[in-house]
Amino acid sequence: MPLNILVVEDSELDYELLVATLSREGLRPSTTRVEDETGMRDAFAKARVDAVITDHNLPRFDSFASLKVAKSIDADIPVIVLSGEMSEDLAVASLHAGADDFVLKTRMFRIAAALQQSLKAAGARRDARNAVAALAQSEAKLHALTQHLESAKEDERRAIAQEIHDDIGGALTALKFELVRLKRTVRDAGAQPHLDSISQLLESAVVASHRIQHALRPAVLDAGLVPALEWLARGFGERSGIQIDFQANRDEFEIAPDRAAALYRVAQEALTNIRKHANATHVHMQLFALGNEVTLEVQDDGHGFDPASLQVTPGFGVNGMMERARGLGGWSEVSSSPGRGTTVMFSIPPLLGQPAIEREAE
């Protein structure tokens, strides 16, 4: 494909010299000469332009203006400034303004090499830009997929909880009634201890079924975030024997249900990690609304770990927190060092469409 070069030049003579020089150097581009902004815009609209060579001194225009026009149409296009005057300041200013090269008309023989070099540099710029765009696109897809998975998981859990409630819960309640009736009718004293033990087993099955239902369908979706986290903390303390206190700076948070569920799931994962990895004796969990962010902080006094190790062996837990936070327009951070406990922060805007306040870089 021949190169299409747009030449911004008022002098017909200089234009011919330029074309002749290019062809002497073995380049036979197709060239178009224009003299002003309208000419440039028309040329860009008519055909593909691979590079712009612009005279510096134009009657109605100068190279800074033509550079601006070219870059506004195609940010990566190579632009070479041709100048009749030898000025270092002008050369530097042109390069700062985004020109790829600066060639003196008295040294026109440089133009072919400058053009080839600039085309290569522009190609690299384009590739880099495309790579960044492709990366951003695939990240966006990943976020969307994660969000989708999270909500699908939440739906699935809700459905299972409902089944347990309706089927197993119903059957257990019916069994309890039947057992009471049986106890009344059976007179045999030897049977009573067995009936009592059945009754106890039944009671623990009811408790287990409630526990499973709660874990699957967090009370957060019914009772609100604060009671749900209180319930989670209480259960964690009882089952793990680790002391835990929970504080919230409000009784109620105005928060979208999926965001409340995300905070709850992160608290669940942070507590699971403490049980699995931390060897802690005390956990401090806080929920607070500040500005346009709701933040969960879970702090333990365990043996901590080196967060750099997450690069080597990433778990799904911590990664999931980061991914969730990003997907919801917030941020998450796990800070820890060996011997000094671990703190998990997870902060999101409570309602859709309210971006979190940008954090200052640390």
Ligand X SMILES: Nc1ncnc2c1ncn2[C@@H]1O[C@H](COP(=O)(O)OP(=O)(O)OP(=O)(O)O)[C@@H](O)[C@H]1O
Q: Which residue ranges make up the site for Mg ion (CB under 5 A)? A: 273, 315, 317
Among 59, 316, 353, 361, binds ligand X (CB under 6 A): 316
CB of 300 to Mg ion, least distance (A): 13
d(CA 117, CA 103): 13
Residue nearest ligand X by beta-carbon distance: 315
Kindly list the distances between the CA atom of residue 122 and the CA atoms of 76, 85, 117, 358, in Å, as whole numbers in the listed order. 6, 26, 9, 33
Residue whose CB is less far from ligand X, 122 or 233: 233
In sequence order, what are the residues at sequence separation of 6 or more whose Cβ sits closer than 8 angstroms to the Cβ of residue 295? 286, 287, 288, 289, 345, 346, 347
d(CA 24, CA 360): 56
* Pattern 335-354, ligand X, x by CB under 6 A: -------x------------
Q: Interacting stretch for ligand X, rule CB under 6 A, among 90-98, 143-151, 182-190, 268-276?
A: 268-276
Q: Interacting stretch for ligand X, rule CB under 6 A, among 152-160, 169-177, 187-195, 271-279?
A: 271-279
> Would you count residue 78 as binding ligand X (CB under 6 A)?
no
CB of 303 to ligand X, least distance (A): 6
272-301: which residues touch ligand X (CB under 6 A)?
273-274, 276-278, 300
> Would you count residue 68 as binding ligand X (CB under 6 A)?
no
> Would you count residue 305 as binding ligand X (CB under 6 A)?
yes
Residue whose CB is less far from Mg ion, 69 or 296: 296
> Would you count residue 304 as binding ligand X (CB under 6 A)?
yes
Radius of gyration of the chain (CA): 35
Among 224, 227, 317, 329, binds ligand X (CB under 6 A): 317
Among 182, 201, 315, 354, binds ligand X (CB under 6 A): 315
CB of 359 to ligand X, least distance (A): 22
CB of 216 to ligand X, least distance (A): 18
Q: Interacting stretch for ligand X, rule CB under 6 A, among 86-94, 142-150, 170-178, 313-321?
A: 313-321
CB of 318 to ligand X, least distance (A): 3
CB of 333 to ligand X, least distance (A): 12
CB of 260 to ligand X, least distance (A): 21
Residue nearest Mg ion by beta-carbon distance: 317
Q: Which does 221 bind (CB under 5 to 8 A by kind): ligand X, Mg ion, none?
A: none
CB of 317 to Mg ion, least distance (A): 3
> Would you count residue 318 as binding ligand X (CB under 6 A)?
yes
Binding site for ligand X (CB under 6 A): 273-274, 276-278, 300, 302, 304-305, 310, 315-319, 342
